[in-house]
């Protein structure tokens, strides 16, 4: 009986180690605009990546009609331009797709132009090699 309990506990522990965990949201407030970056995929090199950017004003109301794009920058070396444009979903969220070309430390810079004012937030991301 004791052996079955120990085996069961080991299986539960191993099952918890094998799954892919969704990356956490990252949020910054820049000049009264709250910018939240959500990675919909676990960061991985050479694989399609999807992000959602949520914009909210100082009162927490969704901001629509903004021009939003991302700039994917590798910290260790210049990788060329990698600037996915985001589509306005009409509810204060914006969707973008792109690719990390290498594993390592990256910055995802979110540029949001709202009513002619630029807002920039930088988020750090580790991409598995």
Task: Identify the structural domains of the chain with CATH numbers, from first to last.
Answer: 22-127 (2.60.40.10)
Residues of the chain with pLDDT under 70: 1-23
- The count of other CB atoms within 10 Å of the CB of residue 106 is 23
Please give the pLDDT value at position 23: 57
Residue among 53, 61, 69, 57 nearest 115 (CA): 57
Can you read off the two tokens belonging to residue 35?
């910018």
């Amino acid at each position: 009986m004791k052996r079955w309990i120990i085996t069961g506990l080991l299986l539960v522990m191993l099952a918890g180690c094998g799954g892919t965990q969704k990356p956490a949201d990252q949020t910054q407030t820049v000049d009264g605009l709250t910018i939240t970056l959500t990675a919909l995929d676990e960061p991985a090199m050479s694989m399609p990546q999807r992000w959602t950017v949520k914009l909210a004003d100082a009162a927490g109301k969704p901001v629509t009609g903004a021009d939003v794009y991302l700039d994917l920058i590798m910290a260790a070396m210049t990788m060329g331009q990698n600037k996915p444009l985001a589509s306005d979903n009409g509810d204060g969220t914006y969707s973008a797709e792109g690719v990390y070309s290498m594993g390592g430390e990256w910055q995802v810079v979110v540029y949001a132009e709202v009513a002619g004012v630029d807002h920039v937030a930088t988020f750090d991301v580790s991409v598995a090699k």
